[in-house]
Structure 1
Amino acid sequence: MLMKKIMALGAAAVMMALGPAWAETQLKLATDSGAKGSPSGDALDRWAALVEEGTGGEVQVDVFYQNDLGSQAEVFDLFIAGDVDMMINWPITAYDERLGVLFTPYMVTGWEEAFEAYKPGGWVNEILVGIYDDLGLRFFGPWPEGFNGIASRGKYAMTAEEASGLKIRVPAMFPMAESVQALGYQTATIDWSEVFTAIQTGVVDGDGANIIYWDYEYFRDVLDYYNQTRMQFVTGVIAMNSGSWENLPSEHQEVVQEAAMTVMEEAFEQAQERDQYYIEQAKKAGMTYIEPSEEELAEMAKKVRADVWPLMEERIGSEIMDTIRANAGEH
């Protein structure tokens, strides 16, 4: 009898040591932007840990960081196909231009306003739930980062005339290029993995559309200025492939969703403080941080909205744009 107990305890110990190998379900969680140890990488790890803990190890989550599974477009392809189950990502708009809602320029103008719009129940959130559903994806919520700007090398621009002499990298997301062009810059669409080399070799003069964290963390050796134009409130998206979601039992679905909400709520709490921290770090590293006045921002917003919002209406529909106009903040 004693021997049977010892053998049972030994078998249990082996199972515990093996851990995830005994998981009933394996899920792939990925991001298109952020290495291990980055804020987004940490958010992946947090989501994975909460799911594994909440399911008692019945679900194992394998985490893949930036470039582990390919380029930004390639990873989103895998996500749509269900070969990646869960993501915190910055989606390209090639699949559905309505995703451009995420990148609408000068749609919100301050942190509090942004949080109210993007959080569950907010007007932007409700638009995105429907769009993601049409793509076969389940939208849990945003992973907010902050307001973006134009980072450049050698010189910066405060007028359209000054901007005309600078070529700025933008991601393949409508209407990122159109927004930067509306301020007078030339643009070039370049994959994230090639941005450092493009700036270093002079193919482009800087990076557009990112919060300061990314330009500080990845490109501070080749950039001199960061102009906080505040065009977009940049946020990643916490989502899951709908097929992968439907294959989970209801108790596991509940854990995955609650874990996603925890990650989102923590990001809301931390985003503004983290953004300010990296502004200070960039300054210490020698980057010149430029913060336009409210009057200058108002002029930028007026120009960009006039140029870009009609283009968006043509491509994402008047119904969505009417909602944006009815709710967008005044500058």
Structure 2
Amino acid sequence: MVHKVVFIVSIFLNVILSIFLIYNNFDKIRVYTHAREVTKLTLFSAWIFYTFCAIFKGAFTAVDRQNVVPKLEKVRRDIITGYGLITMLAIVPSFLVVLVRDSPLIIYPFVFISNFSSIFIFLFFIVAHFDNYSILHKPLKFKAIITLVQLALSLIASLLTWTFSTTENASTVFYITIWYTVFFSAGIAEFFAILRFGVKIKYGEEDRVGVYEQREIGGKIDYRPPGTTTSSARRTTMASMARAQNPESAMEVSIFNEIEDVPQNHTSYIKISQCKICTQEYNGTLIPRILITCGHTVCEVCINNLLDENHSVVCPFCRKSTSVPDGQPDLLPKNFAILEMD
């Protein structure tokens, strides 16, 4: 949580200081020889970049409306895109100032876009999920290493420029690279930590898939108050929704995946179900997980055995592919109906 606070403070402070610097140096900027050309190029480049981001966001929204995208996939996709763009905003001007340090007409538009775009990227892709995710492991040491690498690269670039160019150019390289190291390091470290370790949804959102969010794909939900059992409540599960969507492929789904109005005196006759692949009985250790795409239930062990290199599982019953978040079967939703049968 501390790292997220540092990230928010840094991107807002970056914008505030950028405005302050422009205001204080406005007279110098105005009399610059190519001021008009730089302004036009900057505004045009900013328009291109923001249009690109809007198209990306619109495409994500359209995909979410047309397909059943698991909550974890939405979160992971959006935050990787957001932090990835912020990383790009820091890297591009840092490289440019080293390569074309004598060409402010090229450097300044990218610096302007990078400094003012981070907050828009945050609002476009990250803010909606900011409190809902956490990185799977505690990557404090990893993030510290990423930040130190950024600082080292900045110092090396400045030293090389000072050695092979002028002191003025070396100062420009140092100021710009250090700027992005200070204000963008939190976002860059978060981006690489997410790629390295993966993320999970906090507050149990992953467990609610299949219970509260089934309406998204046409399932009827009857709310079951906390504390009630399968013998006193009604529940429509992923299996019944799969049957409603595609009766042919869902015919093979076990009736144990659905419980409806079971009388109290019949509870003693309900037996725990078995995994239809390994035939082992589900229990607290061998947990039944729902394949989101088709609604079939398979145990964690079998899902892990079926995983391919792209972290996907092809359902052995209907041949539909389900993406397993970060390749970890335990992040798929549990089938609580089966677990509550013993």
TM-score calculated relative to the size of structure 2: 0.24
Larger RCO, structure (CA 8 Å, separation 6 or more): 1
Question: Of the two, which has the highest radius of gyration?
Answer: 2
Q: Kindly indicate which of the two structures has a greater share of residues assigned to strand.
A: 1
More helix by share: 2
